[in-house]
Amino acid sequence: MPLILRSFIVFNLTNALSSFLSPYVSKIYPTLPRKTKHAWDVRFTATLFASTISYLAWLVLDKPGLQDRAFGWDPEAGVLLSIACGYFAWDVFESITWYEDPGYLAHAIACLIIFGASFRPFLAYYAARFLLWEISTPFLHIHWWLDKTKQTGGTYQFVNGAILMTLFMAVRLIYGGYQSTQFWRTLGEIRDKVPLPMLVIYGVGNIFLQGLNWYWFYKMIAAMRKRFPAKDIAEKKQ
């Protein structure tokens, strides 16, 4: 069975596992509306994926086979991409079935297309680096869980929010921005070696995903300001 399909099945099972275990972990879970319970389970699965893929991406970064930034390949990069594609296929399915935010659906589709096309091989060097963006994702979901467990505005959420904002800026905006400049440089160097549609897909995809990062960062700042007004933050520091 292809690893992509196995990955897709595992993430579906993980979602089901969350719905089974969560009532034992939190007394609040059984009281939540059905849609919120599902959102809880989805975040459990997404957190598992983000933690796993960040670790695997870190291991792949310095593989000799990826020294060629455009066409390099390594079997471990194939494993990384297969797990990522299985997850984003699951994410597309979930986003369509429980449609809430067009941004999440567009993000899932863009990632599935971009990482899927990397098997050619094509730009696998950057796939590993961009998957490191997921390092900040677990803290985003913890922030949501703290809201749902009635800990909004508490110390735990403040500390988690500070970590989330710092990591998001570091890995997605600063590191991600730098890697995007290198990514575009590589696209320019190989523009005569690959079909134009590939350049367009990857170029537009990078702009879209980076744009989403900045938009989500803006939303995070707004959410933190709402939960922690300047006066409260000053009191917490005293």
Reading the chain (238 residues) residue by residue, the pLDDT tens digits are: 699 999 999 999 999 999 999 999 899 999 999 999 999 999 999 999 999 999 999 999 999 999 999 999 999 999 999 999 999 999 999 988 877 778 788 889 999 999 999 998 999 999 999 999 999 999 999 999 999 999 988 999 999 999 999 999 999 999 999 999 999 999 999 999 999 989 999 999 999 999 999 999 999 999 888 888 854 544 544 5
Count of the separate structural domains present in the chain = 1
Contact 28/148 with Cβ under 8 angstroms?
Answer: yes
What is the Cα–Cα distance from 144 to 121, expressed in whole angstroms?
37
Which residue, chain included where needed, has tokens 């089901």?
16
DSSP character at residue 172? I
Burial class (CB in 10 A: 0-12, 13-18, 19+), 13: exposed
Q: What DSSP state is assigned to residue 194? A: S
> Rounded distance, CA 45 to CA 47, Å?
5
Burial class (CB within 10 angstroms; exposed 0-12, middle 13-18, buried 19+) of 126: buried
98 contact partners, CB below 8 Å, separation of at least 6: 35, 38, 39, 42
Give exposure, 168-207, as e/b (b: 16+ Cβ within 10 Å).
bbebbeebbeebbeebeebbeeeeeebeeebeeebeebbe
pLDDT of 188:
94
Radius of gyration in angstroms for the set of CA atoms belonging to the chain, rounded to a whole number: 19
Q: What's the predicted TM-score (pTM) here? A: 0.90
Helices then strands, each counted (H, E), the chain: 10, 0
- What domain range is 46 assigned to? 3-237
Q: DSSP E strands: which ranges in 74-173?
A: none
* pLDDT score recorded for residue 235: 52
pLDDT score recorded for residue 226: 87
Q: Tell me which H or E stretch contains 93.
A: helix 75-97
pLDDT at 231: 46
